[in-house]
Structures are given as structure tokens and as C-alpha cells.
Chain A
Amino acid sequence: MSRVKTALHTPWFWAIVGIALLLLINTIKNPAYLAISVNPTTGMLTGNVLDILRVSAPIIMIALGMTFVIATEGIDLSVGSMMAVGGAVAMETLSALNAPTSVGAMFAAIGLALLLAIALGAVNGILVAVVGLQPFISTLIMMLAARGIARVITDGQNTNATNEPFRQLANGQILGLPTSFVFAIAIVVLIAVLMRRTALGLMIESIGINPRASRLAGIRPRPILIGVYVLSAALAAVGGLFSVSEVMTVSVSGTGNLMELDAILAVVIGGTSLAGGKFSIVGSTVGALLIATLNKTVLFLGIPAAATPAFKALVIIALVLLQSERVRSFAFRRTTSADTPSGPATPAAGESTPVTKEVVA
């Protein structure tokens, strides 16, 4: 019972319920939806679920970076454009090197993309932490600027390139799972260890909860703030690499377009408050998986393109309402009073639980 209760209180529990429901709907539409088969020509596994995992990789990356920015009571609107920058640098590098099988060329592309993203992330961080601009404004400027930089890099063209090792990032498989997804999860674990094994996570949370008290306790906010924006930009660039490696083309207007919104939604669904403070890495990852599932479901159900945003909005609103303490305790109270015949003890228990929850929350 208590374990169930804890689960009900874990925000991302509802995201998992959402993923399961979406998969269920898809399976009802086509009973073979969950099937995984072997492609006879390549010998690789194929299936809708694997597709979902592959498209989730970039979302997981930007949601992960966004988590720490939001935990400091900030926001990073530039992650979508940063994906385009990462993709553009990689594609231009690969097409310039023109080495279709070279692993070195792949590393050069990745390295240059990360370098530029880190520099742009540092600009975000400095604008927020040193200049004192609001995160919304600083990163909004960067959102426009980075998209522009991506255009300059590719000269406004949708550049494509050929490099087999790089293509394998999104199209290869490790133990049957998409390579990009495996890498994304590895990065999530690595960052989680960095946050929780050092005191970085604690300090980020502390700054997000009470910046004044944190400063008086001797925490230096500036390096940490700059750090979270750099990390967010770097992870967004990685997301961009995963995204372009799927089709080996960067679309300067399409890559990462509006993805910052997906990242913010994933973080919120995962249970990190936009007011800053306590963050959940697992939550954001599950949130990103939900967004990916939702995107694929929209396509699979053949919902008209015009209705897609409305459908996504409906699902997300339902989820956020389910997570809300107040809505749930309201619904809970209604059902208990309706279902339980006037046994004196049971309604009392049913009613007292939401109250204590409120106090704890």
C-alpha cells in the first residue's frame, strides 16, 4: 500500500502510465504494433518501439540539460537552435573532410560541434550570471542567434554528408537497441553520477530554492550558473548530432525546431518545478520518452498534421492535471464519499490522507 502511495506521489509515475496508455492505444489500432522483427537484409532488429527509442535520444539529451537550468530557476530556450548548430557544424565538417568511412572524421565533427556549443552556452551563462539578464531573455536572444549561426555555417543550405561511422550513431544498434539511445542513456547515467556523487546537484538545488541563503552559506552562484548553461548547450549539440545522423542532412530551419518546448515539457512532466529547486534526472528522462512516444503516436494514428499540436496539448494537460496534488485529492475525495457506504472509519481515512499530503507538500 505504502509503495503504491509513493508511486502515486512520484510525478514521473504518471508519465509511465501515459506511455503505457499510448502504446495500448496503438496496439488496439494495430495488434502488431509492439512486434519486433529482424530485417533480413541488414540483420538488424526493427519495430515501432525501437523507433520510439531512437527518436527519444535527442529529446532525452535536451531535457537532461534543461533539467539543471530549470533547477536553478532559469530556462534555456536556445536548445532547439543549439541542436541545429551542432548538426550544421558536424555536416559541414564531414562534407569538407569528404571521408566516407573515416572514424577520425566523425570525431572531428563531434569535437568541433561540441566546442562551438560550449562557447555559445558560456555566452548564455555569462549573460545570466554575470550581466544579470533574465534567463528567458538571454536564451531567447541565443535561440535566434544560434539559428542564424547555423545558417551562416551552412551558407543557408541544407547540407548533407556521407560518413558511415557517423551515420551509425542513429542507425546502428548495440545489443538490439539504437546506438543513439544507448549513448543517451549512458550520458544520463554519467551526468547523474556527476551530480549526485559530487556536491554539484546539491548546490544547484540550493541555489534554485533560496539563492540568497545559498550565497550567505558560501556557495558561489556564478560558476555553477555558467556551468549549467554550458552543459545544457553541449547536451543540445549532442542531441543535434543524434538528430542529423538519422538522415545525414542538417536542415537549418527544421533541425531542432520548437524542440525547446518538448524539452521544457519533458522536464515538467518529470517532476522538476519551473520554480527551481529539487530536480529529477530519471523524471526528465521518462518525460522525454513520453514526448517521443507521443510524437510517434500522432504519426501512427494518422492524426492530421493540423490537429497534431492540439492532440499533444490534450495529452500533456491531462498528465499535468493527474500530477497535481490538488486535482487528485479532489477526485479521490469525491470517489471515496460516493463509493463508500457510510462506514465511519473508511471515509475518515480517505479524507485524512489528502490533507496530510497537502501538509507535507
Chain B
Amino acid sequence: MTEPTAIVEVRHASITFPGVKALDDVTFRLLPGEVHTLMGENGAGKSTLIKALTGVYQIDAGEIVVDGEPRHFTGTASAQAAGVSTVYQEVNLCTNLSIGENVMLGHEVRGWAGINWRKTHARAHEVLARMGLGDLDPHAPLASISLALQQLVAISRAMVTESKVLILDEPTSSLDANEVEVLFGVIRRLRDEGVAILFVSHFLDQVYAISDRITVLRNGRFVGEYLIEDLDRAQLISKMIGKDFESLRALGSNRQTELRDRSVPAVFAAESLGRKGAIDPTDVEVHAGEVVGFAGLLGSGRTELARLIAGADRSDTGTVRIRGKKVTLNSPVAGLSRGIAYSTENRREDGIVGDLSVRENIMLAVQARRGWFRRVPAREVDQLVRTYMERFSVRPNDPDRPIRLLSGGNQQKVLLGRWLATDPDLLLLDEPTRGIDVGAKADIQETVAELAEGGMGVVFISSELEEVVRLSERIVILKDHQKVGEVVNGPEVTAESIVSVIAAESGDQAELQADALADEVAAGEDLAEQEGSAS
């Protein structure tokens, strides 16, 4: 079978930002009548590639070929003129305009006296009908329809210009299962009409349901292009995280598999804790001195679960017990006052207070707990600041420097200091090692182990499964906003075995696999326990 010629081809493209090579010699092509999915973890270069294709960024090297002609996109308008349309994750529409106005925005039909609204709405109706949305009234306000329909309206809008290429950047992240089906129906219809579709999603099941072809990126580099039939889930994940199966297997855990004394109530225990659209009801337990890893891909619900545990978001379901006592965690204050500290994955938006000094950033949570009236005495502040700046060797060693001027790794260390200064019983670390250099990473990993040693309960979340496996005693596995398994770490548990649980087709199978894993592990544990009691 000969392949049709590509509509869009990116050849050996590179984009360099100060200090980072965001794209490094990446090759990518889109064929007509195909859904081509772009996969990769955070920082793999997916969004950079999309921005290069839509003209937001310009490539430093390589070329972009559209319809056999090399193109140089100078902006989003020139990309659209070349027939490339994009629908982003958040619906970029005006909720105060009508559906028809949104569809036709910038492409209104003009008559002799300005815009001919009647014809404009008629054209909007045509375009909507092509998507199978013929029953939507183009005059109705956009705000009157559901988010899923709005997403479809956004796609209709992209198709007004008869685009040959449609880029869908995480279009399903806020849709439920039925809505996703409707969306996929439209995508298939467009595909069959010969539109080339670039699809990005973190939901593995959806990727396998809709894609014809997958390109994997990692750290800005091209890993490979595969037909969906040729790449099973486990292979895909190992390509994304950059370890082949053998090395994943070899990276066994070196954590001790001693289980905590279960007769003492857990530091934190939640039963069917959940929030609609974020994480399905989930049971979680963390004991004192234990590191619990949350493993899952981006968007699996790992951050959402951590936020519920910390009280950063309000839960709709479930009960929470702290040391056996039932509590309600409806705000970060409630979490902090009960000894739960949460270090967020989004350091810049949710972590640092940029214009405040390192000193003020460290003392902020302690001060907040004392209330505004009782200022933490200068001597105590100096003591805290010195302790944590020395412990994590924060550079530059200047507590009066605004924190925004520090490097990412040093900001992370300061934030870790902020949370440790509150002397928590449970510390939730969401991607504490993302985007920081190797030295800082090792420091933080070492700290986590030390803290657990000292009796703190720690929840550790990371995209790097090896890290999770290396540090955790138990691992909660999450996928598509659900807990799909929980394993006690042991010699048999490796990044690879976690991947196979995540990669399992549907929920049922995942549970089966998780159970099987747990059995295996339990057997190992028995052994370990026997050994322990013997010694």
C-alpha cells in the first residue's frame, strides 16, 4: 500500500529558547484522512511543535512544508491562510456572542452595507450541519449550550475556512465519556472527508480509540512515528518516558518493604474521596513514616487527588480521618492546621510569591498559621531561614533576594523549606523535581527519604516513574481520573510493572493486573516479614 503524500511536513525542525532546546531536530508529518496523535510527557515539546505549526513560534532550523511547498509562518494568520486551524484545550470562544457569530467570527459574510447577518447565520448553519450539529440554533447565545457542544462549535469555527489540517490540543480534557463519543464522531467524519487531524490527549484509551498514527516526542527530540497497530500501550509509555522494557525491569526498587503498623490509625485516611470532573471516589491511606507514591500520567488525576487531600479543592464525596478522627478539609487553612502541607506542581502560579523575599516566602505558611496579629519574632524567622537555606544549600545565599530571581531548583528548595517550617505530619509533594537540575533533584529525593525516616508521612508524585518506585513504599496507580491499582513496593515492582497496570485496556483488567501484582508483592512481603521476624 502506498501512502498518500503528506499535507504538512515538519523536517528537522529546532527551536531554541534561552537555555533550553525546546525542539531538537524533530520530524513530523500529517497525512490526509488520518488522525495523528502526538504523545509525550511534560516538556517533551508537544506544545512547542503545535505552536510552530500554528505560527506562534518560528523555527530556528529545519523547514515546514505545506502541500509540497516550504512555508515560513510569521504568525497565526499566515498559518491559517495555509489551511492549518487549531482548537485549543480551553474553549477560545466568546460566551456572550451567539453560536453563529462565534462560528463566523472574522469570516462574516459581507453585503453592500457591511455584514449581512442573515447570510452569515445561514453559512454558520451550513458549517454546523456538516459537523452533525444542524439542530443547533445559530442565533442562540453560546453560553446556553454545554461545554462539549461549545468544543464542537470551536471545531466548526476552525472548519469555516475549509481547513485541510485541524489541530486538536487536548479537546477532551473537560468532557465526559458520552461527550467524547460525540466529539470523536465529528473527528471521524472530518477524517473521512480527507482532513488531516493532529490530536493531543493524555487519555490513553482515547488515543487508542481515535488514532491512526502516533508520533512520540521526548525532551524535545523525535522518538519515532508508529502506526497504532504496531505500538501497544506498554511500548508507547516506555517510549514516552524513555526507558526500554529491559531497563525498566532492571530498575527494581531498593526500598525496604516493611509495612507500617496498621493498628495505629493512619496519619491520613480517606474513603471514597472524590470530586466531579477531577477524580473519581478514591480510598487513600498514608501512615506515619511512609512514602506513598502516586503514579500516573499527566492528567490521570494524581494532582487532583493531592489537592483534595490538602484541602486545596473541596471534595464532593468521601470522608477523611486524621489519626482516626473524622475531619472536614474544605480549605488549605484547614489542611495546614491539621498538619498537611502541599507543595504544588505549579511552582510559579501556586507556589512562590514572586516579589517577596526568600525569607518572607519561607516564613509565609508559619506566619499564616499564627494569624496576622502575632508576627513571628525576627529571631525565630532568622533561625528558620538559616536552617532551611543551609539544609538545602539555597543559592544565592541571600535571604533578602526576591524569590522570582532564583532558579527553578532553588525556588523549589525554598518552597520545601516553607512547608517543612510548618512541621507537618503529612507532606504532599507534587512534581517536586520537575524542571530542576540533577544535583537539586538528588537533594530533594534524599530529603524525602530522611523525612519519612523521621516519622513524617509523605505523598510523592512524579512523572518519572523510576523516581516514584525508588522512593515509595506503596504506590497508588491512577489513570483517567481513577485509581486503577495500589501496590506495595517490593523487589518485583518496577517502573515497567507500573506501566503495565496503566497500560491495561479498561478498568476491570487494570484491577485484575493490580490484584495479580499485589498478590505477587504480598508473597514477597511475607518472605520479607519472615526474614524480619527471624533477625
Contact = CB atoms under 8 A, between A and B. Distances in A.
A53 B249 CA distance: 79
B367 interface: yes
A206 B422 CA distance: 18
Nearest to A276: B355
Contact of B350 (A199, A212, A224): A212
Interface in A221-239: 224
A303 interface: no
Interface string B353-395: 1111000100011011111111110000000000000000000
A201 to B, nearest CB: 9
A199 B356 contact: no
Given A197-B375, A198-B372, A212 B349 contact: yes
B355 A213 contact: no
Interface residues of B, number: 33
A214 B356 CA distance: 11
A277 to B, nearest CB: 5
Contact of B333 (A213, A220, A224): A220
B365 A217 contact: yes
Given A199-B367, A203-B368, A203-B372, A216 B354 contact: no
A218 B336 CA distance: 7
Given A197-B375, A217-B364, A218-B332, A209 B353 contact: yes
A215 to B, nearest CB: 6
Contacts of A218: 332-333, 336-337, 365, 368-369, 422
Contacts of B332: 215-218
B427 interface: no
A123 to B, nearest CB: 22
A198 B350 contact: no
Residue in A198, A213, A216 whose Cβ sees the most chain B Cβ within 10 Å? A216
Contacts of B337: 218
A198 B312 contact: no
A292 B349 CA distance: 40
Contacts of A206: 353, 356, 360, 364
B351 A213 contact: yes
A72 to B, nearest CB: 13
A198 B376 CA distance: 9
B344 interface: yes
Contacts of A360: 405
B372 A224 contact: yes
Interface string A125-164: 0000000000000000000000000000000000000000
A30 to B, nearest CB: 45
B360 to A, nearest CB: 6
B350 A213 contact: yes
A307 B313 CA distance: 55
Interface in A241-288: 277-278
Interface string B296-337: 000000000000001010000000000000000001110011
Contacts of B375: 197-199
A219 B356 CA distance: 15
A289 B108 CA distance: 54
B417 to A, nearest CB: 12
Contacts of A197: 375
Contact of A202 (B365, B367, B374, B418): B367
Contacts of A277: 355
A20 B376 CA distance: 41
A199 B373 CA distance: 6
Nearest to A211: B353
A346 interface: no
Contacts of A200: 372-373
B199 interface: no
Contacts of B422: 218
A216 B353 contact: no
A16 B367 CA distance: 35
A92 interface: no
A73 interface: no
A217 B418 contact: yes
Contact of A209 (B351, B356, B373, B405): B356
A219 B364 contact: yes
Given A198-B373, A215-B332, 20 more contacts: A197-B375, A199-B370, A199-B373, A202-B360, A203-B372, A205-B355, A206-B353, A206-B360, A209-B354, A210-B353, A213-B350, A213-B352, A214-B364, A216-B312, A216-B351, A217-B336, A217-B364, A218-B332, A218-B333, A218-B336
Interface of A: 197-200, 202-203, 205-206, 209-210, 212-220, 224, 277-278, 360
Interface of B: 310, 312, 331-333, 336-337, 342, 344, 349-356, 360, 364-365, 367-376, 405, 418, 422
6 contacts: A199-B376, A206-B356, A213-B349, A213-B351, A218-B332, A219-B364
